Amino acid sequence: MSETRGIVTARDGDYAIVRTEDSGCGRCHESGGCGGVRVSQALCTSPREWRVLNPRGAAVGEEVRIAVSDGAIGASALLIYVQPLGALLGGAILGSLLAGEAGAIGGGAVGLLLSWRWVAWRQKRRHCDPRFHPHIV
């Protein structure tokens, strides 16, 4: 389970608004961590707020740990980054074989557009999957 720390700034029914000082899973400095927090800090230094499930009823001002299930971050990264890139390259290669350079451009564009539609559809299905919901532990 990937975790990070934050402070509850507000409550919203079964949810809490939690402010985190850094982004990422909190494993950046451990062996095996990706170090992605360094990239995000370079792009945006302001604290982040997240709406997360609050099953234990954490109070405003309380320091909490936010967790997401194992595999959720990797699966989401594959869906959002790798799959569209694969569709772009696959469409470009197929288009190139069928119609040269113009086919490669068109095939890449079609592959990317179809991929974006598929990603949006998958994200809607994942919205109801509790494995992809961050929550307070």
Where do the domains of the chain lie? 2-68, 70-131
| Beta-carbon contacts of residue 120 (< 8 Å; ≥ 6 apart) | none
Residue-level pLDDT, tens digit, the chain, 137 residues = 777 889 999 998 888 999 987 655 555 656 666 655 555 555 566 668 888 888 888 899 999 988 888 788 788 888 889 999 999 999 999 999 999 999 999 999 999 999 999 999 988 887 777 777 788 88
Q: Provide the whole-model pTM.
A: 0.61
Q: What are phi and psi of 22, to 5 degrees?
A: -120, 160
